[in-house]
Structure 1
Amino acid sequence: MKEFVKGANPYMPLWEHVPDGEPRVFEHDGEKRVYVYGSHDIEMDKYCGRNYVVWSAPVEDLTDWKYHGVAYETHYDSILYAPDVVKRGDTYYMYAAERCGSLVVVASAKTPWGPFENPVETKLGFDPGVLVDDDNRVYAYWGGCAAPCYIAEMEDDMATIKEETLVENPLGHSTCPWNPVDDGHISLIDAFFEASSPRKVMGKYVYIYSKRYEKPIPELGVHEPCNGFLSYRFSDTPFGPFHDGGDISFNGGEILKDSEGHGTMTYQWGNNHGSIMEVNGKWYIFYHRQTGVNEYSRQAMLEPVDVAMGKDGLLYIGDIKYLDGEPVSSKPVEMTSQGPHINGIDARLWISAGYACHIFGSRKRAYVRPAYDQRDDLSTPIVDITDGTTVGFRYLQFGGNAPKTVTVALEEAKRAIVRLRLDSYRGRVAAEMTFDGSSKEVTAALNAGIIGKHAVYFEFVSEDPDESYAFDRFTFD
């Protein structure tokens, strides 16, 4: 029986909803694994949930994720926002954001998956991020929305801040319509919003955060205030001053460019949170995307990123442009369907429509419908597809032996034509499937050989502009 793809983007199972992921590589019992700690979207009608779960993968294979179960339950009968976990000595410390992030406690464990116990209240605030430096000193970063960010060194108890080290607003912070503030420190263009995550990269202290843009960014299709970015600044000290870096990740999907370089998003952007991590010699950005019709069913994503230091001491992170071998600029890496399958998803597996990174052209705003059944064969359909909608996947791997057919499965039997296009949503048509309303699944012959790695797109054509479709899954044979 044909299997379903696993460990793509999102890299956790499609039934799991872990946003705000802070990745950490820990060696425990002689095994190095990358662990992801994030909030847990299980309330369905609001952000996050009342527990944290832990997932990990061996550093050699980021497609093979293991569920470790619940690591921490709320001790205050409250919703838990984004946490962080660090190791110091032989103990793991979880900074749990109780009461929707307004109370941060630190709990401890002897294993990276917990359970984390004995919580102690701290003076840290919203979205805590913690850095254990090379000399074993510990620094905490926090803050969010219209409130400024903060940095402070921690005492050896991992709970108490050294008050004399407290730095307020090292980045400048954003305003937002639901919490307007004017305290003389607001930046409206390149502004800290939330999601503090400190990392040490090439000797530099890197402050990763969610940026809120107030200005339009036409090349990315951003024309209204937007905080779908993960961005960074860097410094020679833990406290700054911080040099402008750039944007590492944007969760607006594939960006379509016109002849003037203006972009159009093809995925529903939403809040973003995560960090970078070096895993087995390669750097990745861990972030999240949205599913459903709100921001309450987010999923963990990752992409490879490039990291380089210029001769001028500037640190570049993301999709880097080089000139004569020297880094000169960087921009956000593309949002893909493949994630850790860096050579492309195996085209001969069942691939859920829910891995799409391009959903474009629907009159009804098509979206990935969240699902929570814990099954290996779970698919998350894209619903509210209408005539002219394209659904794209970057990228699939066809290998050196070209398949002969493509099969598409809808959730319901309806009348439609579905065209397979290669490499672009306007690319050449490689197959056409005619659904006559009698079957949910149709197989068609490919009209040309396809080998190697390609983006694929499915175009939906209907004679009825009011008809809508649910695209379930597809495969090649």
Structure 2
Amino acid sequence: MNPILPLSEFIPDVEAHQFLDGRLYLYGSMDICGEDRWCSKQYKVFSTDDMKHWTDHGISFSTDQQGMGVFAGSILYAPDCIEKNGKYYLYFCTAVLNGKGLANGEGMAVSDNPWGRFKEVRPIPLANEDAIDPAIFIDDDGAAYLYWGQFRLRGARLKENMREIDEATLNTNIINEDSHGFHEGSSMRKRGDTYYLVYADDSSGAPTRLSYAMGKSPLGPFEQKGIIIDNIGCDPSVWNNHGSIAEFNGQWYVFYHRQTHNSKFSRRVCVEPITFQEDGSINRVEMTTQGIDGPLQPEMKMDAGRACQLSMNAFIQRDGKDEYIQAVTDGDSAIYKYYAFDGAQSSFTAIVRGAKRNSQIEIRLDHIAGELLGVCQIPPAQNPEQWTEVSCKIKKANGKHGLCLVFRGSGKDLFQIQKFWFYQ
């Protein structure tokens, strides 16, 4: 279910790789919940053997660790990692923090295992101080390729030491913003004899799309093909997207992130299964709450913060252990896709707090104008800090549907909603 990691974890910019032990590993940046900036000084690694249960391997790398050299104290932007000959090579980039650190730093570090810690830090000549967001790819013949860049993607073959670029192979304009909508965040994969270049696409005005291009060589040329997923609508202030595609046990997935906190920041990784057409093109997918898990069961207690779409003013907030939707105004909505209704559910309950006046939750199928199942009344709160259950009867529904909660009332900040569920 999306987001795929515990709701206390804010891991964006994810690259996913299945390694020698058969597990799928996630490498991403690490946002600090509620802060008004991207990323932090640390990376974490997570892994799974079933795409449902995730192991937190803890801090894998930090610019506060010993041996960081010119990168010491910098903010760590998006990373990538690859295995070669039993070693794991982490590629990272840095940004300035409070005037300290290396802007657009590009470096690498090594570990004997996929989760680190990664050490033996080295800058990468020609890429270091050039641009952000490294991506690493090893072809079928064992040749390794490094990609990096913003607005204009650079790429080159690496020498056998995995930290030096073969300058003769350097391509400083693989794709660019004008011709491909390339903003940043490249990621390379191969399927059959086709190379897939995934990237954040700003053609719509903001880089909320993960788009892809296809080619027959790791350094291009690449033909722009389409959009895999767009995270527009996940938060009122949504700005960027960054992720990857990966095959795990025969199924392909797209990993992407969503914003929270009515900000460009506090981002969390999500995943959707993807499929391919006969010509190799990728079918576009939508954001869902269910992710890879199949339709949701109505009786489960749903965290309101797992909404896959929010409209207007409402946004996901987290204070301590409390996760909720706040700042709801008349007509705002939260959508959860998809539920499997079986005609047995006759009631709806939500946990809310902070209602200043009489308000309502409309329970609708699919969208804001969809079939109305019921209306849950929310009276003014006697204690604005106390979570309270409110319930109502609903019409019974059948089949697979999105669930749209529409919030009604006068004024702003009507109430906060933490959880909800259906029952017989």
1:49 aligns with 2:19: no
What per-residue deviation string (whole Å, max 9, x for no partner) do you get for residues 139-198 of structure 1? Answer: 1111014xx211100011100000111111121x23xxxxxxxxxxxx1x6321110111
Give the counterpart of 1:352 among 281, 295, 303: 303
Equivalent residue, structure 2, for 1:209: 199
1:212 to partner: Cα distance? 1.6
Equivalent runs, 1:105-254 vs 2, <5 Å = 105-123=107-125, 124=127, 125-145=131-151, 148-171=152-175, 173-174=176-177, 187=178, 190-213=180-203, 225-253=205-233
Equivalent residue, structure 1, for 2:418: 472
8 Å CA contact retained: 1:253, 1:336: no
Equivalent residue, structure 1, for 2:73: 77
Equivalent residue, structure 2, for 1:179: none
Q: Which amino acid aligns with 2:212?
A: Y
Equivalent residue, structure 2, for 1:456: 403
Q: Which amino acid aligns with 1:63?
A: K
1:282 to partner: Cα distance? 1.4
8 Å CA contact retained: 1:193, 1:212: yes
Distance 2:296 2:380 in 1: 30
3-state SS, counterpart of residue 381 of structure 1: strand
Distance 1:428 1:411 in 2: 26
Distance 2:363 2:265 in 1: 32
8 Å CA contact retained: 1:381, 1:411: no
1:318 aligns with 2:309: no
1:92 aligns with 2:96: no
TM-score under structure 1 normalisation?
0.79
1:421 aligns with 2:364: yes
What per-residue deviation string (whole Å, max 9, x for no partner) do you get for residues 399-423 of structure 1? Answer: x472232111113245212121112
Distance 2:115 2:243 in 1: 19
3-state SS, counterpart of residue 133 of structure 2: coil
Equivalent residue, structure 2, for 1:279: 248
1:379 to partner: Cα distance? 4.7
1:14 to partner: Cα distance? 1.1
1:269 to partner: Cα distance? 3.1
Give the counterpart of 1:25 among 11, 15, 18: 18
1:290 aligns with 2:259: yes
1:368 to partner: Cα distance? 1.0
- Structure 2: tracts of 5 or more residues without a match: 97-102, 383-387
1:302 aligns with 2:245: no
Q: Which amino acid aligns with 1:140?
A: L
1:389 aligns with 2:332: yes
Give the counterpart of 1:402 among 344, 352, 356: 344
3-state SS, counterpart of residue 168 of structure 1: coil
8 Å CA contact retained: 1:40, 1:53: yes
- Structure 1: tracts of 5 or more residues without a match: 1-7, 175-186, 214-221, 255-265, 320-332
What per-residue deviation string (whole Å, max 9, x for no partner) do you get for residues 231-278 of structure 1? Answer: 111111111111221111110138xxxxxxxxxxx8643211111011
Distance 2:233 2:263 in 1: 16
What per-residue deviation string (whole Å, max 9, x for no partner) do you get for residues 101-139 of structure 1? Answer: 611221111111111111111133411101011111101
8 Å CA contact retained: 2:315, 2:327: yes
3-state SS, counterpart of residue 118 of structure 1: strand
Distance 1:137 1:467 in 2: 56
Distance 2:412 2:44 in 1: 42
8 Å CA contact retained: 2:314, 2:333: no
Distance 1:438 1:292 in 2: 23
Q: Which amino acid aligns with 1:293?
A: N
1:443 to partner: Cα distance? 1.6
What RMSD in Å do the two structures reach over aligned CA positions?
2.0
Distance 2:28 2:229 in 1: 17
TM-score under structure 2 normalisation?
0.89
Runs of 4 or more consecutive aligned structure 1 residues displaced over 6 Å after TM superposition: none
Distance 1:340 1:12 in 2: 13
The size of the alignment, in residue pairs, is 399
8 Å CA contact retained: 1:267, 1:357: no
Distance 1:244 1:27 in 2: 32
Distance 1:159 1:353 in 2: 45
Equivalent residue, structure 1, for 2:54: 65
